[in-house]
């Protein structure tokens, strides 16, 4: 691999053993990826702050002890515990995990990581822009930054994300290159009525279907017609990365690298989406039968300010049914915005619980979450049944909010009939 004088100095240990290890990690990864050189990056979203045992702490402590610091702005993914809601962990039996998870976040902050603690860093101003070479690891953040922002990153696993951030460079391969960003299959959605493309649920189901179809390939979706919102694009980006291993998708006229199909697609498999595909996705994401609800869980990935605004508008002054838990996870940044608008208080008064810094399907503090849960998030519906004792009813945002008020699963009578 072609390394410059600074890279070689790091490998020689001139900036200490932690920076040497970081460079060795980047070089070893680059060799496996077949990269001929490294590319400077301008931003890193760090996933290794998500506690996974003592080795995570040892690695961060090793970096800190030997004077390593991030070379570029680094923002942290959500943690295993919430620092905004410490009361969730009072009396928690697994003190090793709770203490370890807290300590890890502190270590990354000391290394220079901005304490954003969110899986939706793209909602925070000042992040990467179109064309930027960056580093990210969390699957939805990788997919959103690549697809919607038009920044360039591969999916970097734990430690490699940190190593690239410390060094300020990544192996120049895969999605960092022009060739790596071409679509390999095309899904047309022209047969789905435009009215359905105004429904938020369409984008979650589309993403689930595309992820299944694409696996780890880059897909392009055409025929979106109605201009999707950023929340819609976030829904697709997240779902393609959970039902499949998609790290970049293009939407013709909807994402920045695909003004027209030809810009990203030079040939490959062609598919046509049907109403049956949407029904099949709805079924795949639903493991429970409609009935009385225990929980409504939203915010996977972390809710945006506009999604909170939609919930408030759908609640329309009504309250959540007593006994039902309506929980929305989000970032501390968005929580600050809600406070400034007076929305936090309105949501709390309606019976909505807002929790920062964490995710609700892997969050020991939110447990026990059990029983029948409704969500509008394809990623939550995909992973939670394997991790929590829950059955999931998947629905639109309107169905989720209405169900929270009624205390049982409510189905929008006009939604699926409009698909005939």
Partner 1 sequence: MTVQGTILNGGAASGPTLVLTEPVSFWGAFDPRTGKIVDTHHPQQGTALGGSILLLPETRGSGGTPGGIAEAIRRGTGPLGIILITPDINLAVGAQVAAALYGRPCPVIAVSEEDYHALVKCERLSIGADGSISA
Residues 2-21 that bind partner 1 (CB under 8 A): 21
Q: Does 67 bind partner 1 (CB under 8 A)?
A: no
Nearest to 249 by CA among 189, 196, 193, 297: 189
The secondary element (H helix, E strand) that includes residue 353 is: strand 352-356
Q: Does 233 bind partner 1 (CB under 8 A)?
A: no
Residue 190 token pair: 């022209």
CB of 213 to partner 1, least distance (A): 17
**Residues 322-361: x where in contact with partner 1 by CB under 8 A, - otherwise, as a string:** ----------------------------------------
Q: Which region, judged by CB under 8 A, interacts with partner 1, from 48-56, 112-120, 219-227, 286-294?
A: 48-56
CB of 139 to partner 1, least distance (A): 7
Q: Which region, judged by CB under 8 A, interacts with partner 1, from 81-89, 151-159, 188-196, 295-303?
A: 151-159
Choose which of 93, 368, 386, 413 interacts with partner 1 (CB under 8 A).
386
With tokens 């435009």, the residue in question is 194
Q: How far is CA 42 from CA 104, 118, 154, 194, 376, in A?
A: 24, 19, 14, 39, 33
Cα–Cα distance, 298 to 183 (Å, whole number): 31
Cα–Cα distance, 384 to 288 (Å, whole number): 12
Q: What is the DSSP string of 249-296?
A: -EETTTSTT-SSGGGTEEEEEEEE--HHHHHHHHHHT--S-SSB-SEE
Choose which of 10, 38, 44, 48 interacts with partner 1 (CB under 8 A).
48
Q: Which is nearer to partner 1, 49 or 377 (CB)?
A: 49
The secondary element (H helix, E strand) that includes residue 330 is: strand 325-330
Q: Does 94 bind partner 1 (CB under 8 A)?
A: no
Q: Does 99 bind partner 1 (CB under 8 A)?
A: no
Choose which of 36, 40, 62, 270 interacts with partner 1 (CB under 8 A).
62
For residue 191, give the 3-state DSSP assignment. Answer: coil
CB of 31 to partner 1, least distance (A): 9
Cα–Cα distance, 142 to 160 (Å, whole number): 14
Write out the E strands in 2-148: 38-40, 44-46, 74-76, 113-114
Q: Does 93 bind partner 1 (CB under 8 A)?
A: no
CB of 363 to partner 1, least distance (A): 14
Cα–Cα distance, 100 to 45 (Å, whole number): 21
CB of 204 to partner 1, least distance (A): 22
Q: Which residues bind partner 1 (CB under 8 A)?
A: 21, 24-25, 28-29, 32-33, 47-48, 50, 52-56, 58-59, 62, 137-139, 155-161, 163, 216, 245, 386-387
């Amino acid at each position: 691999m072609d390394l410059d004088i600074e890279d070689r100095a790091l490998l020689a240990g001139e900036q200490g053993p932690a920076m040497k290890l970081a460079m060795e990690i980047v070089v070893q990864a680059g060799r496996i990826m077949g990269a001929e050189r490294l590319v400077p990056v301008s931003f890193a979203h760090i996933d290794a702050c998500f506690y996974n045992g003592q080795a995570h702490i040892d690695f961060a402590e090793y970096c800190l002890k030997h004077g390593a610091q991030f070379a570029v702005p680094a923002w942290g993914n959500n943690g295993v515990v919430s620092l905004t809601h410490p009361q969730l962990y009072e009396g928690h039996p697994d003190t090793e995990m709770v203490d370890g998870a807290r300590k890890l976040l502190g270590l990354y902050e000391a290394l220079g990581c901005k304490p954003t603690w969110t899986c939706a860093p793209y909602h925070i101003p000042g992040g990467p822009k179109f064309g930027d070479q960056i580093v990210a690891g969390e699957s939805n953040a990788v997919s959103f930054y690549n697809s919607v922002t038009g920044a360039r990153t591969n999916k970097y696993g734990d430690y490699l994300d940190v190593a690239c951030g410390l060094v300020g460079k990544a192996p120049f391969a895969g999605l960092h290159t022009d060739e790596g960003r071409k679509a390999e299959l095309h899904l047309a959605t022209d047969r789905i009525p435009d009215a359905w493309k105004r429904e938020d649920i369409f984008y979650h189901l589309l993403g689930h279907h595309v992820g299944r179809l694409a696996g780890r390939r880059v897909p392009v979706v055409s025929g979106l017609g109605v201009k999707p919102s950023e929340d819609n694009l976030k829904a697709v980006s997240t779902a393609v990365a959970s039902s499949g291993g998609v790290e970049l998708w293009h939407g013709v006229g909807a994402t920045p690298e695909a003004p027209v199909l030809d810009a990203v697609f030079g040939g490959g498999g062609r598919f046509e989406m049907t109403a049956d595909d949407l029904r099949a996705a709805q079924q795949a994401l639903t493991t429970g039968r409609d009935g009385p609800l225990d929980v409504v869980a939203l915010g996977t990935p972390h809710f945006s300010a506009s999604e909170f605004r939609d919930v408030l508008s759908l609640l329309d002054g009504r309250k959540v049914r007593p006994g039902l838990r309506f929980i929305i996870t989000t970032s501390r940044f968005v929580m600050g915005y809600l406070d400034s608008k007076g929305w936090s208080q309105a949501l709390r008064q309606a019976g909505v619980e807002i929790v920062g810094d964490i995710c609700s399907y892997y969050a020991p503090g939110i447990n026990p979450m059990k029983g029948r849960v409704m969500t509008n998030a394809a990623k939550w519906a995909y992973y939670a049944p394997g991790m929590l004792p829950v059955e999931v009813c998947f629905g639109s945002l309107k169905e989720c909010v209405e169900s929270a008020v009624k205390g049982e699963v409510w189905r929008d009578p006009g939604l699926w009939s409009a698909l005939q």
